[in-house]
Amino acid sequence: MNFPILSSLILLPTIGALFIFFVRSSNSQYQSSKYVALFITLANFFLSLYLWIVFDKSIVDFQFVEEREWISGFVNYKVGVDGISILFILLTTFITPICVITVNATIKNRLKDFLIAILILETFMIGVFCSLDLVVFYLFFEAGLIPMFLIIGIWGGERRVYSAFKFFLYTLLGSVLMLVAIISIYWITGTTDVIKLYELGIDAKYQNLLWLAFFSSFAVKTPMWPVHTWLPDAHVEAPTAGSVLLAAILLKMAGYGFIRFSLGLFPDASLYFVPLVYTLSLIAIIYTSLVALMQEDMKKLIAYSSVAHMGFVTLGIFTMTQQGIEGSIFQMISHGLVSAALFLCVGVVYDRLHTRLINRYGGLVSIMPKYAIVFMVFTLGALGLPGTSGFIGEFLVLMGAFKKNILVATIASLGVILGAAYMLWLYKRIIFGKLINEDVKKMVDLKRFEIVTLWLLVLPIIFFGFYPEPLINSIEVSVANMIDMNDFDKINKLALGD
């Protein structure tokens, strides 16, 4: 048995949280608990970076698999990574330290509790991405609700209670059916081990209902239209770090779940429900983009843009082509970086002016030039300009979609235009224009820690925009294997009449 690297990744943040919890609190030691959290999350990041380097990208199988008995004779604790999940783990461990850095400015009370919540949340997020057992997955997937509920509820804005409840109950309602499905899978096949299930396959007559049960959970979490309404509320009320984690990682759990479970376990049902997913994705892309155009609150606008971007993700996944799925994964990673960055940017100006209303700003370019630069990079990343990571994702998704259905692809392309419209308009209204508000003139440009965090996000967005190879490389084999395993290519050809 080698060193259990994945379990260490999962457990390390919790150990950090326990450490912070048991260290006596006094005001002077708030700083020290922050450094502990930063140290732990950075250690976790380097550990996962190491994992990525050691990870053999040419092998199809799951690697670093750990298995041990958990609920006797029923469920085993089993974790492992393939090329897809390792990227999400990296994203998680990369975003979390950035959140920890930002807490200084945004969290005024109970800093210690906040750090504990974030660390516990990191444990659950990493757990979701590397669990190879359905029950273990469900456990991590659901457990993440607790810290997020508290983050929104304790440190949120005015309507935080409403948002926290909505977030919790929506997601819980979505997931309960998944639990029924997981237990049913156990009784149908005799195991909840994902690898074994890939080999065994599930009888086609059960697939449709099971797929729907999983879909109900993932659709809420993604979120897809029409169950997306919790997201704008949660984003608006959550503190900056909470919004960042929510947008960058929690939403990706669902996209990851679609690839790993919906496609992997229920290939027939996935094909059957393609029209449904296409329709919902297109509505999400077009409708929420239009809604985003109308927003007066910055965070709400970005939240709606997230829904639209996740629409591309679901669209890409269910094209079931190599390009589509790769594009979706790339889009998720890119959106994780860009939306995190955008929420941080909103946080920067919110800390100074304490309003998120777009029309209270204007003309920031002359007062905060450094801010204007980074914000521009992220805006362009969000609208998918070539040279940013956002472009690669959207491009691949659209390529996959064109292969399957030209009408769908055309409508989705319209979404790209709308995306450019609302993002550029947002940028114009905040950064350019006349300086009307007197308070705005008193705003100071980026502080040092803000520069560090934001540039840390600028670098990968531009790097992967020009050189997507490392990411594509890592997912290529796994995606190809998934398509191969489920004969999606053959079915695709049949559908096209080749």
Partner 1 sequence: MENLQLIIPELFISIMIMFLLIFGVFKKNSSQLVYNLTTVSLVAALALIINLDAQIESSLFNNSYNIDSLARFMKILLILSGIFVMLSSSKYIQISKISKIEYPILILCSILGMMVMISSNDLIVFYMGLELQSLALYVLASFNRDNLLSTESGLKYFVLSALSSGLLLYGCSLIYGFSETTNFNQIMVNTKEIEYGLTFGIVFILVGLAFKISAVPFHMWAPDVYQGSPTSVTVFFALLPKIAALTVFIRFLYIPFYELGDQWQMIIIFLSIASMVFGAVAAIGQKNLKRLIAYSSISHMGYALAGLSTGTTQGVQSSITYITIYLVMNLAFFSCLFMLKRNDEYYENIDDLSGLSKNHPLLSLSLLVVLFSLAGIPPLAGFFAKFYIFVAVINEKMYFLAIVGLLATVIAAFYYLRIIKIIYFDPEKEKFESKHNLGLKFTLVASTFFILAYFIYPSGIVDIISQININ
Which residues in this chain contact partner 1 in the complex, by CB under 8 A?
69-72, 74, 113, 135, 138-140, 142-143, 145-146, 149-150, 153-154, 160-161, 164-165, 168-169, 172-173, 176-177, 179-180, 183-184, 186-187
CB of 140 to partner 1, least distance (A): 8
Which is closer to partner 1, CB of 11 or CB of 373?
11
Helix (H) or strand (E) holding 161: helix 160-189
CA 313 to chain centroid: 11
Give CA–CA dist 213/178, Å, rounded. 5
- The counts of H helices and E strands in the chain are 25, 2
Long-range contacts (CB closer than 8 Å, 24 or more residues apart) made by 276-281: 277/314, 277/315, 277/317, 277/318, 278/315, 278/318, 278/405, 278/408, 280/219, 280/224, 280/225, 280/226, 280/311, 280/314, 281/224, 281/311, 281/312, 281/314, 281/315, 281/318, 281/412
CB of 420 to partner 1, least distance (A): 39
Which is closer to partner 1, CB of 175 or CB of 305?
175
Residue 472 and residue 57 in contact, taking contact as beta carbons nearer than 8 Å: no
CB of 481 to partner 1, least distance (A): 30
DSSP string, 413-469: HHHHHHHHHHHHHHHHHHHSS----HHHHT-----HHHHHHHHHHHHHHHHHHH--H
Which is closer to partner 1, CB of 143 or CB of 353?
143
What sign has the CA pseudo-torsion 419, 401, 256, 286? positive
* Cβ-proximal residues to 72 (8 Å cutoff; 6+ apart), any chain: none
CB of 359 to partner 1, least distance (A): 30
Instruction: Tell which residue, 254, 247, 256, 241, has the closest CA to residue 41.
Output: 241
Which is closer to partner 1, CB of 155 or CB of 402?
155
Which is closer to partner 1, CB of 138 or CB of 211?
138
CB of 91 to partner 1, least distance (A): 23
Which is closer to partner 1, CB of 243 or CB of 319?
243
Which is closer to partner 1, CB of 154 or CB of 451?
154
CB of 354 to partner 1, least distance (A): 20
Beta bridge partners of 69: 76
Give CA–CA dist 121/80, Å, rounded. 19
Which is closer to partner 1, CB of 19 or CB of 165?
165
CB of 332 to partner 1, least distance (A): 24
Give CA–CA dist 89/130, Å, rounded. 8
CB of 52 to partner 1, least distance (A): 27
Beta bridge partners of 66: 79
Tell me the CA distances in angstroms from 260 to 128, 266, 299, 322, one per residue in order.
11, 10, 30, 15
User: Which token pair is 248?
Assistant: 């960058």
CB of 74 to partner 1, least distance (A): 8
Which is closer to partner 1, CB of 150 or CB of 231?
150
Which is closer to partner 1, CB of 161 or CB of 494?
161
CB of 43 to partner 1, least distance (A): 23
